[in-house]
Amino acid sequence: MTAAPLDFEHKLANYADLLVRVGVNLQPGGKLHLRAPIEAAPLVHLIARKAWEAGALAVNVTYHDQQLERVLYEAAPDAAFDYAPEWMVEEAMHQMNDGYAFLSIAGSDPDLLSGIDQGKIARRSKATAQRSTPAAVRQMAFEINWSVGAMPVPSWAARVFPELAPEQASARLWDAIFAVSRADQPDPVAAWQRHLERLSSVTRHLNERRYSALHVRNAQTDLTVGLADGHIWAGGAWPAQNGISGVPNLPTDEVFTAPHRLRVDGHVSASKPLSVRGSLIEGIRMRFEGGRVVEASATRGQEVLTALLDTDEGARHLGELALVEHDSPVARTGLLFYNTLFDENAASHIALGRAYEFNVQGGTEAGALERAGANDSLIHIDWMIGTPETDVDGVRADGQRESVMRAGKWAY
């Protein structure tokens, strides 16, 4: 007998439970810092309930209003775009010292800052990144558990489903989020355990092969990505330095590692638009020589792309290479989410900017990333390059080549 479909309230409760039990994997006596858009209050209430039911000692919530960001760029004095308060990073550092897990709920208008002066956005983004670097480094090193989920806001839902009325669009986007996060299944936690075991088997295989480079090819891409010395493939669940395993993104279907910042050559094209800094970039094309972006263009959002690449020297080098099968749950929805949390799990991708410490052996030690050849930067921007026709070869140190993916599917 087929089980009856779950109603919305049941799926929403499942989703909140997954974020707490699978995402940050909150333990009895743990503490949770939750950041969410103001529209997410009902979901936040459920998450807090699930956290306390799991034995949380404290739940701290910070709400943000995305519209205030546009108001700032339209009305603030020029000096405001170079200012970031010191307390911003101090608060995060204190919470990390106190053992808080961090959970963020994504949900914003992909076109929020359309038409805003990109120079102002670049200055404020850089100032914020520079101020928050000490906390960002600790988070990227998985000193504490952290995870990201999502909540449909009307402007985002309207972008994904422009043909639908607002309530219908939000309902459809919720359905998609529940499906790809497995919250619509009778036992979503068990479903996640099976999924994480499969991702773990893929990372074990890639780590055993010790490729020196990967060669990625499709109709618009021919890119050889040399891998960092002592690189580590990761994916799915990952243990924080406190020994507690969590899942940084819900959903997640990627396995990823750190490229060598000087060993990337060839050309690559985006297979999906990129939503970043409140704007959309479409038709990205780049050419790499000796690991560095030497040519970059976009059919839309060229100014945004140029500003990203000019953030610092590391912004023109890669910090991540991720492989995703072309028929992942996100890909099977057939949707463009205009949100990297989802779109990056529909296609293999690369990231400009900083590498993750845990993608390099001994990566949390001082100077380890640099010694391994992994990249450092104020940014980490994922963009999608995979297609159903993508082939990936692993290249061993002796030049021997092995099939890793064929037509967007694992081939080993």
Please state the domain extents for the chain. 8-181, 196-239+246-410
- In 3-state terms, what secondary structure has residue 275? strand
- One pLDDT digit (tens) per residue for the chain, 412 residues: 456 678 999 999 999 999 999 999 999 999 999 999 999 999 999 999 999 999 999 999 999 999 999 999 999 999 999 999 989 889 999 999 999 999 999 998 888 888 899 899 999 999 999 999 999 889 888 899 999 999 999 999 999 999 999 999 999 999 999 999 999 999 999 999 999 999 999 999 999 999 999 999 999 999 999 999 999 999 999 899 999 999 999 999 999 999 999 999 999 999 999 988 888 899 999 999 999 999 999 999 999 999 999 999 999 999 999 999 999 999 999 999 999 899 999 999 999 999 999 899 987 788 888 999 999 999 999 999 999 999 999 999 999 999 999 999 999 8
Specify whether domain 8-181 bears CATH 3.40.190.10.
no
**H-assigned helices in 228-366:** 302-309, 329-332, 340-343
pLDDT of residue 2: 58
Phi then psi dihedrals of residue 276, to 5 deg:
-150, 140
Q: Which amino acid is at 231?
A: H
pLDDT of residue 3: 63
Question: How far is the C-alpha of 81 from the C-alpha of 282, rounded, in Å?
Answer: 26
Nearest to 112 by CA among 156, 82, 76: 156
